[in-house]
Amino acid sequence: MTTDKIEQLFGYVQERCLWQFFSRTWDRQENIDGVIKTATDMLTGKEFQLETPMERLFYADAKIMVADFKQRFPWIEELGPAQIRDLMHGLKDKLVEFTITKSLNHELNHSLY
Amino acid sequence: MPMVLLKCDKDIPEREKHIYLKVDGEDSRDFLPVSNAATLPGTLSERGCAFCGAKLVIGGVLKDTIQMIHGPIGCAYDTWHTKRYPTDNGHFNMKYVWSTDMKESHIVFGGEKRLEKSINEAFDEMPDVKRMFVYTTCPTALIGDDVKAVTKKVMSERPDVDIFTCECPGFAGVSQSKGHHVLNIGWINEKVGTVEPVITSKYTMNFIGDFNIQGDTQLLNQYWEKLGIQVIAHFTGNGTYDDLRSMHRAQLNVVNCARSSGYIANELKKQYGIPRLDIDSWGFNYMAEGIRKICAFFGIEEKGETLIAEEYAKWKPQLDWYKERVKGAKMAIWTGGPRLWHWTKSVEDDLGVQVVAMSSKFGHQEDFEKVIARGNQGTYYIDDGNELEFFEIIELVKPDIIFTGPRVGELVKKLHIPYVNGHGYHNGPYMGFEGFVNLARDMYNAMYNPLLRLAATDIRGNLNTRFLEAAE
């Protein structure tokens, strides 16, 4: 059941979100960490920081993603905080696998842009 | 077996690594086309050169800058007027072309004196213009002209001018992509941070990777003005040289074309801590999403929603009129790289059009990751496609309409397949809400144009047969 839910969210992110496909490994990791954390905080009602430019960036991306999650996958609003955290953790792992660890993109680890 | 060896490629089987067919049960962890690699001997590439990527795509867009091309006249002429990026100052960039017009004697004896003379002549002829890009080309790079020494000398003698040197001869890379890279990195390292902008708003951003094709920049700028966002620099649509020197003062970098301009956005983040936000500017759904993200960053969400509602009320009925008439069509996109992933879902979501084949001239693997994630199963994804491959792919997928550039467009027109200029547009702009209606209208006009059917009919009848007999 959780796997199926992760697949649904993953399908959405792959299709809609450009932040997962930035140029280098460290950019992708930073974006995935930042957006997923902010989205998890939003979905669990936890307060989040909007002080630094990068926090505001992650908020901008996460806000649209969370709104789409709620619209496309209404079951997400029925989940408790612990279930949300598990779900988003699973989503994050899958994104890291597809876009970083098992990506066939040969340019991901160049030291320069 | 998702990597595809087309029949026409039987003598260059390496091409199999460049053509991908998306099928169920496999993904980009298993297969990713080779791209940004040297064109194979034996394949007739549609690519441009590295110099072209720097001059034609990025530098030549600027509205206040002389573009001095240090090389034979052809390098200048062939990168002039082949793209349509107007400006709000009378299209200075499209009216004029500058070249050092290198001849054999300059190649033999060196071209530095000729370059210096040409730079001074250009500034003397246009005394109001104080900014210049100088580009090396294949011959002047090969003979080793020290272009930077020349531009430095001229700047020391003319303190009111500023010159940027772009050393990216045509052979510097495998495609125009190398030119994008060299210009991006050269500019951030040499020019950004050398001018301080006048800040007029609480909200400032750079808009990166939009070249005002038929007015894209000017259309989008209406949105930013309504939202009260100051665009410090447009990289480079309708942009100025000094605006681009001020990029370090923006709060946010908004990136449309990540392929041509992602480098400078990455460096602005690394060197100045300015976040990079990638958006899609083509399509209703995507444009609204981009506006929402920008407004969320600045905390002006209500303004964004008002703007989106106004634009939807104005343009959505027109889009829907065209959607009713083009939905269900099969589309091929054969352009540079990013438009594949920008367009494949937007035409599907907003117009009900299915993209069945996509070819990229200069995309990197990053672009293929994006487009394969967004594109359909059963769709072909091609790197550096050649003409024979296009013939074969057309037979395989039978597209109803093809968006591509004028070069491949000639082939498409001769096959009597509806064609729209996917590079310079037919009747743009295509970005934004109004722009996507323009795209839909051009798609409709191409598909419903009776001339295509008439052109495919040989009205000579029996006369045609007699000529054939005579020839035999």
pLDDT-derived band at B167 (thresholds 50, 70, 90) equals very high
| CB distance B443 to B451 below 8 Å | no
Check CB contact of A53 with chain B, cutoff 8 Å. yes
* pLDDT for B470: 47
Check CB contact of B123 with chain A, cutoff 8 Å. no
Helix axes B365-374 and A2-16, enclosed angle (nearest 10) = 120
| CB distance B118 to B102 below 8 Å | no
Distance from CA of B77 to the nearest CA of A (A): 31
Of B258, B273, B373, the CB nearest to A14: B373
Question: Are residues B293 and A61, on separate chains, in Cβ contact within 8 Å?
Answer: yes
Residues of chain A with pLDDT under 50: none
Edge-first strand order for the sheet with B162-166 is B98-99, B65-70, B131-136, B162-166
- Residues with Cβ within 8 Å of B106's Cβ and at least 6 positions away in sequence, in order, are B100, B114
Q: How far apart are CA B193 and CA B187, in angstroms?
A: 10
User: How would you label B88-120 residue by residue, b for 16+ Cβ within 10 Å and e otherwise?
Assistant: eeeeebbeebbbbebeeebbeeebbebbbebbe
* Bigger pLDDT: B454 vs A81: A81
Question: Are residues B29 and A102, on separate chains, in Cβ contact within 8 Å?
Answer: yes
pLDDT digits (tens, 9 = 90+) for B105-158: 999 999 999 999 999 999 999 999 999 999 999 999 999 999 999 999 999 999
All residues of chain B having their beta carbon less than 8 Å from the beta carbon of residue A19 are 278
Question: Are residues A63 and B292, on separate chains, in Cβ contact within 8 Å?
Answer: yes
Strands (E) in B25-178, as ranges, are: 65-70, 98-99, 131-136, 162-166
Distance from CA of B263 to the nearest CA of A (A): 6
The residue among A52, A57, A100, A112 with the most chain B CBs within 10 A of its CB, best to mutate, is A57
Helix axes B216-227 and B301-326, enclosed angle (nearest 10) = 140
| CB distance B253 to B269 below 8 Å | yes
Check CB contact of A51 with chain B, cutoff 8 Å. no
Helix axes B301-326 and B432-448, enclosed angle (nearest 10) = 0
Kindly tell me if the per-residue pLDDT of B462 is higher than 80: no
Check CB contact of B276 with chain A, cutoff 8 Å. yes
All residues of chain A having their beta carbon less than 8 Å from the beta carbon of residue B252 are 53, 57
Question: Are residues B365 and A107, on separate chains, in Cβ contact within 8 Å?
Answer: yes
Kindly tell me if the per-residue pLDDT of B198 is higher than 50: yes
* pLDDT for B463: 63
pLDDT digits (tens, 9 = 90+) for B317-361: 999 999 999 999 999 999 999 999 999 999 999 999 999 999 999
Percent of chain B with pLDDT over 90: 92
Q: What is the mean pLDDT of chain B?
A: 95
Question: CA B197, B200, B204, B210 torsion: positive or negative?
Answer: negative
Question: CA B51, B57, B61, B62 torsion: positive or negative?
Answer: negative
All residues of chain B having their beta carbon less than 8 Å from the beta carbon of residue A49 are none
Kindly tell me if the per-residue pLDDT of B471 is higher than 50: no
pLDDT digits (tens, 9 = 90+) for B219-263: 999 999 999 999 999 999 999 999 999 999 999 999 999 999 999
pLDDT-derived band at B459 (thresholds 50, 70, 90) equals confident
pLDDT digits (tens, 9 = 90+) for B261-296: 999 999 999 999 999 999 999 999 999 999 999 999
pLDDT digits (tens, 9 = 90+) for B55-80: 999 999 999 999 999 999 999 999 99
Q: Quick check: helix, strand or coil at residue A93? A: helix
Interface A-B, measured as beta-carbon pairs within 8 A, has a size of 89
* pLDDT for B457: 81
Name the token pair of A8: 């649904």
Q: How far apart are CA B64 and CA B344, in angstroms?
A: 35
| Alpha carbon separation from A54 to A59, B115, B291 (Å, rounded) | 8, 45, 18
* pLDDT for A1: 57
